[in-house]
Structure 1
């Protein structure tokens, strides 16, 4: 099977996670930013991730891919529901998190941004969605202050987490996105969580690109 992805994309991280956690071999192919022909040909719309199955058919939607791959072998990781407290944290933290991460994604070293044309297309897309990216970078101190307060409330929610379940496919991709932000202070429980999932899922964190 092959996953068609963006390397920076948190939704693509979900799909990558399940293969790593279940130890199922897979290939990846990175779709260049601004290229709509490839996803349109596969699933009829511009979206990632896309799973190319062994029978040549395609599947979109990250959690659909997660559940499909999860069902291929025991034990099932997604039978349990989402921890409501963690889900609430994600819902409330997502705006600040992406105001910090998105401008840095546009500057990052990702295969989907390998050409100037692809990077310009991505910058244009995110400017349309988030506004002035330079202004967001300048607002980093205020955004970090808000994010740190939110990360403090996450610590007790992660202190007792051990087994992987559906919750982690929501939380880990968001926190992984935040690792591209220089100056973020993760608490010990959150940092342990990130390092654990990086190893078990085989999805790299972005500390080496932090800016």
Structure 2
């Protein structure tokens, strides 16, 4: 199978995770961010991730891909009960996370930004009159303080370093994809158990963190 992705994309991270967690082979193909034609030819629109199945057909949408791959062998692993408190934490943190993430993604050395045109396409799409990347970078300090406070809250919700609820659930997919994105933000003080969970999940899912990528 092939999985077409953008490395920075948390939805793509979700789809990548299930292959690592189940120790299944997959060929990762990184699309240039300004390549509209390739994904449109596959699924009718520009988006990622896209799974190319062994029969040659294509499947979009990260959670659909996860459920499909998890069930292929008849032994799904994401069977545990989700914790509503994790969803609440995620919703709250996502309300401001992109102000930290988008300007850093735009400057980082991702394969999808291998050409100037691809990087410019991302910047033009994500920036606006009210979302200015240089200004967001300059004003990061208060948001980092807020993030550190929220990470302290998250630390009280982590049951095990191997799975946030003690056994693997969809909460692990949702939570690690955001924590992996946030690993690009330099200068954040991570609570010990959150950092341990983040690092353990990166190893288990075979999705490396974004440490040292901030420009």
* TM-score, structure 2 normalization: 0.94
- Output aligned runs, 1:44-123, within 5 Å: 44-73=44-73, 75-123=75-123
Give the number of aligned pairs. 211
Whether 1:167 and 2:171 are equivalent positions in the alignment is yes
SS of corresponding position for 1:96: helix
SS of corresponding position for 2:156: helix
For residues 129 and 206 of structure 2, what CA distance do their matches in structure 1 show?
30
Deviation (angstroms), 1:156: 0.7
The answer to whether the Cα contact below 8 Å between 2:80 and 2:167 also exists between their aligned partners in 1 is no
For residues 52 and 127 of structure 1, what CA distance do their matches in structure 2 show?
31
For residues 159 and 71 of structure 2, what CA distance do their matches in structure 1 show?
28
Deviation (angstroms), 1:129: 9.2
- Which segments of 5 or more consecutive residues in structure 2 lack a partner in the other structure? none
Deviation (angstroms), 1:73: 2.3
For residues 183 and 158 of structure 1, what CA distance do their matches in structure 2 show?
22
SS of corresponding position for 1:131: coil
For residues 159 and 130 of structure 2, what CA distance do their matches in structure 1 show?
33
SS of corresponding position for 1:208: coil
Whether 1:204 and 2:194 are equivalent positions in the alignment is no
Deviation (angstroms), 1:89: 0.1
- Which segments of 5 or more consecutive residues in structure 1 lack a partner in the other structure? none
- Check 1:184–1:81 CA distance in 2 against 1; reply closer, same or farther (3 A cut): same
The answer to whether the Cα contact below 8 Å between 1:33 and 1:113 also exists between their aligned partners in 2 is yes
For residues 159 and 79 of structure 1, what CA distance do their matches in structure 2 show?
16
- Check 1:159–1:81 CA distance in 2 against 1; reply closer, same or farther (3 A cut): closer
Paired residue for 1:127? Answer: 127
Deviation (angstroms), 1:128: 3.6
SS of corresponding position for 1:55: coil
Paired residue for 1:10? Answer: 10
Deviation (angstroms), 1:149: 1.1
Whether 1:183 and 2:187 are equivalent positions in the alignment is yes
Runs of 4+ in 1 over 3 A off after TM superposition: 159-162
